[in-house]
Amino acid sequence: MPWVRALMSGVLPGASVNRKSRSGRPANRYRRLDINTLPKIRMDVLKIFNNGFKELVSVTPPDSKISSMSSIRDEDRGKAPGIPKANGMWIGYSWHNHDPSSSDIEHWLSFNANIGLRSGRFPGIDIDVLDESLAKEIEDIAVYKLGRAPRRIGLSPKRLLIYRCHTTFPKKTLRFETDAKKEFLIEMLAEGQQYVIHGIHPVTRKPYTCEPVLDDLHPEELSVIDEKKINQFFCELRTILTEKGYRLINGHAPKEKHLLIDQKSLKGDPEMVSAALEVIPNDTSYDEWIRIGHAIKAALSENEEHAMELWVLFSQRWLHGETEQDFIEDKFRSFKPPYSIGADWIFQQARGHGFNTAAADFSPVEEIVSDTEKNLAPIKYSEMALTWRVVKQHRQNFRYMPECGKFLYWDKTRWRFDDRGRIPYEVGRLCSEASAEALMKMEDKRSAERTATRLAGGRTVREVIGLLKHHQELILPAAMTDKDSWRLNTPTGTVDLKTGKLNKHDPEDLICKSTSVGPEKMECNNWMRFLKQATLDDGELIAYLQRLCGYALTGSTSEQMLAFVWGPGGNGKSVFLNTVTKILGEYATTAGSEVFMSSQMERHPTELAELQGARLVVASEIDESSRWNESRVKSLTGGDPISARFMRQDFFTFTPQFTLVIFGNHKPQLRNIDDAIRRRMHLVPFTHKPKVVDTGLEDRLKEEWPGILSWMIKGCLEWQRQGIHPPPVVQDATKEYFQQEDKIGNWIDECCVENPEEFTTTALLFSSWSRWCQNYNEHTGTKNRFSKRLVERGFRREQDRSSSSRSRGFIGLIVVEDQNDASKDHSN
């Protein structure tokens, strides 16, 4: 097509290139075009408009002639909104409140206008970055924080991500620069702005690209964002950019103010800074917490590792916010010089809490220590000796996991991550005991006081904690935890799922997860009444659901199945799965249904990484137009290793060990129904809607959770005896679903007759298939794909040897003119 060639060359149809006007100046390359010569342009833009993107804007083309009465600058051509006059000159217009019609759009396109989109309802993340890897990383962060989005590119590697919102908000901007003083910009284009989505870029003179193209999308398919999500995204971005050494230009006090302060004057004695921080209560605001972090880093700028340790210990006492160590450390790394406060400011804050600043205010006289004093108990009270004391007392209760950099402690039921500072507390207590011991037992009073002071200091605590991280008796690799998929940990004991027996908790099992409740033999009248009502008292279906829940307790994927619980709203699907998920506790997780649906946009691997270690994965909220991602469903249910990664971390490989259950009101489309999909798919019907909705049912079911867990364990034993064994109602529903989705089979039934002796060319078969798809609004696909699907159904591909054309085709299938002919041939 001419327009395709034009896109490849960057020259529009009807445009003259390198042609001189009579005045000797280059002729206008973007002269008015006859709209009849641009059917592809019109179709694309009008389709975008008809899909629901109504807030389109006419934008001046790059080589447009600006009217002398207009305020549009020549350098803004190609991105500034404007409309053409009859004489071909361009002027501005009230695009903020102009709702265009399709005729407006055709008029704009006839003058070769660029087309923009108002960003009030469709905000865009504009990544104005010329570093390819950095631009891609910022895009990854946006997708992770805000959701997937179409990517529009004009001048690569710059890019813009398109979202939608329910409530408008003002724009937000983040500027930063490199050491070379090169400035970059990330901007949230929002209310009162627009961006080009179609046309020619003013610099590259090539068309803007959008992946996926907007004419294939509807607004409701875009990810929804709000101002809260935007603020979280920019906060994450600031942290990452500062970690990488970029200087933020906005959002900080002027640099000159800090540069007036000698950074060396902010330094202080590490021991004094540590002692001062110990008396300062951490009950202030977030902003004050950040100020203390800046001061610590300025005071100990020559030993950032020590500064980090002080900051973590101080932050763990914070009463008003996040205390996760990763968050604390990430925040500390984001602090960059120059600083305006340091050690003196810390001492000043500590004075109000009884801190004696004499040692800080006056330089101490260097102490003369004899050799005898230097050798007093150097081993007994060393950090290594204290580390062995901790290990001796707590070797049964403490572990350290290097992969995540966290301590664990045994809480009598499982190994739990120490997110509340229990290990630092125990180390501090032991160091305090050693300090008191030294003060009492050491004969030299002067040395005793000095040793006692050192032992009770925060630095000693930190160094002992650091040594514990490398002690071999405490190391617990992540791969060693939760290995036995036949053990189910509960608050009352560990269930052996092969026998159903409840055993005592044992730290040697190395289990980190737990269900919400323990099993208990009890009547579950509400649960059984609910199941009977939801299934129309189908005993076989209830028994199947029990086996399905029991299978989900294990880490087995032997059934290689996906349970799709389907039915209209209000029929108990959510109650059933919410109850099971909450009972399983840390063994279950939820995922967005889009993880398992086909998409034109690349999915972030974090979605898969978050499924690692789960035994039950539940997804919901399936859109009516959704289509299964068959290859992903097969890989996640087939027991094959898959690769994934968390945000800003390396890829890793894990083998899925979960049962996948998806529920929804709509049935996703299937394009390729092969044996693997037929074997995996279980469509579980929940089609009975109660006359009266019981809004308090889930709360009453919570009282029966222990009994329901016992019911699930019995289901696990039953599954081991007979397999998952779907009942007739599930088999029939699944078969009907496959028949509905078997487009090739339906086409054969309606348009063809099977005859093992007859030959039909591929061209004729594909032509009939294409017409059928057009009539039913189905996806046609390529001829190669069509041929492959016929081969999969058992038809033999041959070459026509009876004619000179030697056309390729298939044996066994004849195309008939209509359904009546097909029926007649079948009867014959």
Measured between alpha carbons, how far is 135 from 132 in angstroms, rounded to an integer?
A: 5
Q: Per-residue pLDDT for 36 more than 50? A: no
Q: What's the whole-number average pLDDT of the chain?
A: 81
Could you read off the pLDDT of 678-691 as tens digits, one per residue? 888 999 999 888 87
Separation of alpha carbons 553 and 587, rounded Å? 8
Task: Please say whether the beta carbons of 251 and 238 come within 8 A.
Answer: yes
**Is pLDDT at 41 greater than 80 in this prediction?**
no
- Candidates 365, 357, 332, 328; CA nearest to 268 is 357
pLDDT band at 801 (very low <50, low <70, confident <90, very high): low
Tell whether omega for the bond before 338 is within 30 degrees of 0, i.e. cis. Answer: yes
pLDDT band, residue 823 (cuts 50/70/90): very low
What is the spatial distance between Cα 13 and Cα 37, in angstroms, rounded to a whole number? Answer: 8
- Upstream peptide bond of 756 is cis (omega within 30 degrees of 0): no
Omega before residue 568 within 30° of 0, cis: no
- How many Cβ atoms sit within 10 Å of the Cβ of residue 647? 15
User: What backbone torsions phi and psi does residue 90 show, to the nearest 5 degrees?
Assistant: -110, 140
Sign of CA dihedral 812, 817, 818, 819: negative
Query: Pick the residue with more confidence: 191 or 621?
Result: 191
Q: Which CATH architecture has domain 744-827?
A: Orthogonal Bundle (1.10)
The CATH code belonging to domain 525-739 is 3.40.50
Q: Which strand (E) or helix (H) includes residue 435?
A: helix 422-441
* Pick from 17, 19, 98: nearest CA to 59: 98
Of the pLDDT bands very low, low, confident and very high (cuts 50, 70, 90), residue 595 is confident
- Residue 180 burial (CB count, 10 A): 6
Q: H/E element holding 202?
A: none
DSSP character at residue 200: B
With tokens 């160590």, the residue in question is 325
- What pLDDT does 251 receive? 39
CA distances from 27 to 16, 21, 32, 73 (A): 7, 5, 12, 20
| Cα radius of gyration (the chain) | 35
Q: What is the pLDDT of residue 33?
A: 40
Question: In this structure, what token pair is assigned to residue 703?
Answer: 């009282």
Q: Which of 182, 169, 293, 290 is nearest to 246 (CA)?
A: 182
Whether residue 369 has pLDDT greater than 80:
no
Residue 590's DSSP bridge partners are 618
Cα(243)–Cα(241) distance, integer angstroms: 5
> Is 242's pLDDT higher than 60?
yes
Kindly tell me if the per-residue pLDDT of 362 is higher than 70: no
Lowest mean pLDDT among 124-128, 570-574, 606-610, 749-753: 606-610
Give the per-residue pLDDT at 537: 92
What does pTM read for this prediction? 0.52
pLDDT at 645: 66
Reported confidence tier of residue 31, pLDDT bands at 50, 70, 90: very low
What are the tens digits of pLDDT across the range 544-578?
999 999 999 998 888 989 999 988 877 888 899 99
- Give residue-wise pLDDT tens across range 333-354: 888 887 778 888 888 777 666 6
Rounded Cα–Cα distance for residues 693 and 587 (Å): 30
Phi/psi zone of residue 199: left (φ > 0), alpha (ψ -120 to 50 degrees), beta? left
Query: pLDDT value at position 778?
Result: 85
Cβ-Cβ contacts under 8 Å for 388 (sequence gap 6 or more): none
Calpha distance 280→352 (Å, rounded): 9
Residue 710 and residue 414: Cα distance in Å, rounded?
20
Query: Is the pLDDT assigned to residue 442 strictly greater than 90?
Result: no
Average pLDDT for 745-749: 90
The Cα–Cα gap between 10 and 22 comes to 25
pLDDT tens by residue, 310-328: 988 888 776 444 456 777 8
Q: Quick check: do 525-739 and 744-827 share a fold?
A: no
Question: Does residue 781 surpass a pLDDT of 80?
Answer: yes
- The sign of the dihedral angle between the CA atoms of 219, 222, 223, 227 is negative
Among 162, 165, 137, 138, which Cα is nearest to 150's? 162
Question: How does DSSP classify residue 340?
Answer: S
Is the pLDDT at 822 greater than 70? The verdict is: no
Average pLDDT on 93-107 reads 87
Q: Where are the domains of the chain?
A: 2-118, 124-248, 256-361, 389-479, 525-739, 744-827
